[in-house]
Amino acid sequence: MENETNHALITEPLTPDDDIKGQRKVIFGIVLGAVCLLAIIIVGVVFLLNPGTDTGRFRDIFIIFMALESLVIGLVLIILIVQLARLINLLQNEIKPIIASTNETVNTLRGTSRFLSDNMVEPVIKLNEYLAGLQQVFRFVRPKRKD
């Protein structure tokens, strides 16, 4: 019953086609943003090169650049949130089952080693103890001859 609920909670991971489409969208967005930024910079430089430029224009251009910078930071934060969501999806759907399987394997190995210890190693050690005792008895009863 527990396995049935685990399978119901796991969603299907993204296919390679979905991943490629997502990467294309991100690349398109970055290129579009770069083109817009370049256009705004060119317009700003053209206005600055006009004669009669005063400090008010510099201030206005600086304010525009600060607004663009905040837009870029917002886009970067959105990309960061998307990447974080993908990482969480990876952890939930791929790494947790691997860890659970590894834990099950370790428990199986622990049981196997305990079984081998109880049924093979301990009897062999006891046999060696008895043989060592028997060897000492034979040494005591029949000492070595001196040549």
CA 87 to CA 81: how far, in whole Å? 10
Domain ranges of the chain: 20-111
pLDDT for the residue numbered 43: 81
What per-residue confidence (pLDDT) applies to 2?
45
Phi and psi at residue 12, to the nearest 5°: -70, 135
Sign of CA dihedral 89, 95, 96, 98: positive
**What's the confidence (pLDDT) of residue 146?**
66
Rounded Cα–Cα distance for residues 120 and 117 (Å)? 6
* pLDDT tens, N- to C-terminus, the chain (147 residues): 444 444 444 455 556 677 788 888 888 888 998 898 898 888 877 877 777 667 677 788 789 889 988 998 999 999 999 999 999 988 888 888 888 899 999 999 999 999 888 888 888 889 999 999 999 888 888 877 665
pLDDT of 118 reads 85
CA–CA gap between residue 93 and residue 90 (Å, rounded): 5
> Helices in the chain by DSSP H: which ranges?
2-9, 16-49, 55-90, 96-116, 122-141
Amino acid at 99: I
Report how far Cα 63 is from the mean position of its chain's Cα atoms: 40
Q: Is 34 within 8 Å of 43 (Cβ atoms)?
A: no
pTM, two decimals, is: 0.41
Per-residue model confidence (pLDDT) at position 29: 87
| CB contact set of 3 (below 8 Å; sequence gap of 6+) | none
Query: b/e for 109-137, b at 16 or more Cβ within 10 A?
Result: eeeeeeeeeeeeeeeeeeeeeeeeeeeee
- Return the pLDDT at 17: 75
